[in-house]
Structure 1
Amino acid sequence: MPEPLPELRPLLDSWELSLRAVNKSPTTITSYKRGVRLFIEWCERTEHRAELTRPLVQTYIAELIEEGKEANTVRLRLAALRAFARWLVEEAELSDDPLVGIKQPKIPTKVVEALTDDQLRDLIAACKGKGLRDRRDEAIVRLMAETGIRSNELIALAVSDLDLQRGLVTIRRGKGAKGRIAPFGPQTAAALDRYLRMRRSHKLADTDALWVGVGGKSFAYFGLNDTLRDRATRAGIGGFHLHLLRHTFATRWLRSNGSEGGLMAVAGWSSRSMVDRYTGASASERAAVEARGLGLGDL
């Protein structure tokens, strides 16, 4: 008689403890737990018993694709279930991993157009002002656009992570718990300096967190999302999302003839495929510029 499969929901908190114990980042833990929780909710909604079996997971993934979920969403959901399955085996909650060998489905990746230089200038201009929020938002936009720093990495920065004189920001805990140093230029340094001088009079001036909110409050992801969306609306930029600044950084780097190796180092990528993923929309444009410079038709 086959062994009964464990109930999944009661095990989520134990799994979270184990993820913390192996020093997974808060972002990874949140993403993993959300991925498994959404699977459990789908099981309940479709009147399936919430258990980890290969056929059930394949059905779930197929439905995500039919619903039109983006490739990255499907990838993250499956990655969460795979990680959970491995942990269940390690903890002897399952005798075998049912998801070993299950393949990522091939889904067309959505092409993301980077901001143009004019749009980026308009976004910066929409942050202009003499208030704390204005100076903070301009510094944030400039830093994100010039270094490609991820939103969660930006929020985690401490004041001591900035070296304005040398134009360097230290990202101590990037994706995969990997740190790196990213450079920025004089305009970004000046914007950061203006913000830091105003920050001195804030209620949280003595705390480590680099970014502070208005009215003496702290500043976190949702505050970042709301304030930059508002700035984008003022700049007349439709469909703005935080990750768009990372796409813009990568595209502008390659348009300026920066090397792919340098881009990977500054962006914190270990896989060459990430370059294509973030700059695919501008690849034809760059190829056309390169082709004109080669003069292959000059016979």
Structure 2
Amino acid sequence: PEIAKHTVNALPKPYSGAYLTTLCECTLLLFTMTMIQFQDIKKEDYLVVSTSPSQVVSGSNKKNNRSIFAIVGQRKFLIAAFGGFVSWSAMAVQMSATPLAMKGVGHSFAQATTAVEYHLLGMFLPSFFTGTLCNWFGSRLVMLTGFLVQLAGALLFQRGFQIRHFNLGLIIVGIGWNFGYVGASALLTQSHREEEKLKTHSLYEAIVMSGISIAFFSSAFIEQYFGWMVLTGRIISTYLGVAVLILIVDTVIALFKHENIRKQSSIDDVDAEIPA
């Protein structure tokens, strides 16, 4: 955002300088990636070795490598995918629509990029301790907290159109995204075995990325057609409110099932879970 702030008017046509700078950044990134030498790791180098008799026996048959349909049928996977989808989509709509709303009420491009910078700090700074919170309180409670924080950020936008409302609102939305997405990703790891992680994470990322795509492509239309107040006060607030209710029901079920929400299910427990 800071680079865009200084290059937006670098060329005669507005915004062309910022787009050209972004293109150069992406080219530099691709060139840097070609210089990285990744170690060639064979499949047998990272196979899980277990001394448990039950694990050894099960590892000798096809039971360990379940179909993707069996994995998707678990409540843990469904809630994790749901959490990742909602966290990303709700955040992306608000983040991408904020500059349009700020410009619509008379704020400058520099003020809009500063708001996005605050948002990025809210998104990534909590990562230093969010994983620890998942270990302390459980991934479900962290994800639920993230949804509630995002909801609080969306409602804060209803207070007005001043700079502080946009800056603080985006910070809170960013923090909520971090809690929701990290909590969902942590819960996902409890839904698969080691040999199933590739296809499980691939499907999870596909679901999450579809949510991001829908959010970014629709945010401008929703903001222009319905307005900023309707977008944040009704659409996003209702969306997050329903998601909170779903997570509360799932958390209550998990509490009754495990008696301890912080308990991490073992790989054997995955088979015992009742399908959704």
* Coarse TM-score class (shorter-chain normalised): under 0.3
| Bigger RCO of structures 1 and 2 (CA < 8 A, at least 6 apart) | 2
TM-score normalized by structure 1?
0.24
Say which structure is richer in helix. Answer: 2
